[in-house]
């Protein structure tokens, strides 16, 4: 007789979509929108962003507090106080799915966000402000902010932008060519001592 125990558990189990470790704190995000923050010894706090998380980032906020930024599939960035898991604010980038987040320890803002439609925006968490910098020609898979500008990765290409959104440089990925080893002839000896040459 078949039982539905395994199927029932699979239906009600939560699917982990993102996770990170920040010091002794572990953050786990689930497909149903739940975000769990675990801090030893066995302290767990939960929240829900009502959408599927796509990117997680922990950083030090403008006031020196530990922040958790959660990007989602609707182009929003949810900002939480990491210690209390209370929401500080929600910023709508008004772009595609959030693909990348990076801290921006400069006077230009607090974090930068890249979206699936190529949008790059600067987040000013202290003033709840968003500054759109550029629209690139593909999904922004990673971002890295520096004093001189920021570097975005788009379809393998590294694009350097200034803080006004102008493109400073672009380095395309080297073309990938797969090489196959040459076919070699194999010498096979039969049982009767005769030899066969297999091409």
Full-model pTM: 0.78
Asked whether residue 64 is domain-assigned, the answer is yes
Asked whether residue 167 is domain-assigned, the answer is yes
> Which DSSP letter does residue 138 get?
S
> Which DSSP letter does residue 2 get?
-
Asked whether residue 189 is domain-assigned, the answer is no
Q: Please check whether residue 78 is in contact with residue 72, taking contact to mean a CB–CB distance below 8 angstroms.
A: yes
Segments in the chain below pLDDT 50: 1-12, 196-199
Read off the CATH number of the domain in which 78 is found.
Answer: 2.130.10.10
For residue 76, the model assigns a pLDDT of: 95
Asked whether residue 168 is domain-assigned, the answer is yes
Q: Which of 119, 100, 120, 122 is nearest to 111 (CA)?
A: 122
For residue 183, the model assigns a pLDDT of: 61
Asked whether residue 45 is domain-assigned, the answer is no
Asked whether residue 51 is domain-assigned, the answer is no
Q: Is the peptide bond preceding residue 41 cis, with omega within 30 degrees of 0?
A: yes
- Number of residues in the chain: 199
How far apart are alpha carbons 159 and 171 in whole angstroms? 7
The 10s digit of each residue's pLDDT in 112-150 is 999 999 999 999 998 889 999 999 999 999 999 888 889
Q: How many structural domains are present in the chain?
A: 1
For residue 177, the model assigns a pLDDT of: 64
Mean pLDDT of the chain: 84
Q: Please check whether residue 82 is in contact with residue 58, taking contact to mean a CB–CB distance below 8 angstroms.
A: yes
For residue 3, the model assigns a pLDDT of: 43
Asked whether residue 44 is domain-assigned, the answer is no
- Residue span of the structural domain in which 114 resides: 58-172
Asked whether residue 32 is domain-assigned, the answer is no
For residue 83, the model assigns a pLDDT of: 87
**H/E/C letters for each residue in 80-134?**
EECCCCEEEEEEECCCCCEEEEEEEEECCEEEEEEECCCEEEEEECCCCEEEEEE
For residue 10, the model assigns a pLDDT of: 41
């Amino acid at each position: 007789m078949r039982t539905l125990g395994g199927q029932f558990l699979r239906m009600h189990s939560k699917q982990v979509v993102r996770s990170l470790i920040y010091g002794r704190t572990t953050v786990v995000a689930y497909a149903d929108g739940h975000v769990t923050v675990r801090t030893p010894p066995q302290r767990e706090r939960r929240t829900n962003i009502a959408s599927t998380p796509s990117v997680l980032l922990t950083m030090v906020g403008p006031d020196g507090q530990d922040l958790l930024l959660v990007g989602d599939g609707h182009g929003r960035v949810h900002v939480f106080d990491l210690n209390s898991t209370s929401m500080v604010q929600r910023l709508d980038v008004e772009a595609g799915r959030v693909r990348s987040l990076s801290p921006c320890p400069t006077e230009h803002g607090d974090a930068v966000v890249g979206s699936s439609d190529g949008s790059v925006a600067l987040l000013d968490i202290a003033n709840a402000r968003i500054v759109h910098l550029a629209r690139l020609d593909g999904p922004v898979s990673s971002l890295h902010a520096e004093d001189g500008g920021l570097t975005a990765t788009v379809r393998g290409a590294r694009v350097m932008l200034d803080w006004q959104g102008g493109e400073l440089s672009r380095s395309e990925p080297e073309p990938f060519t797969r090489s196959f080893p040459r076919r070699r002839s194999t010498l096979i000896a039969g049982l009767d001592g005769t030899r066969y040459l297999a091409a």
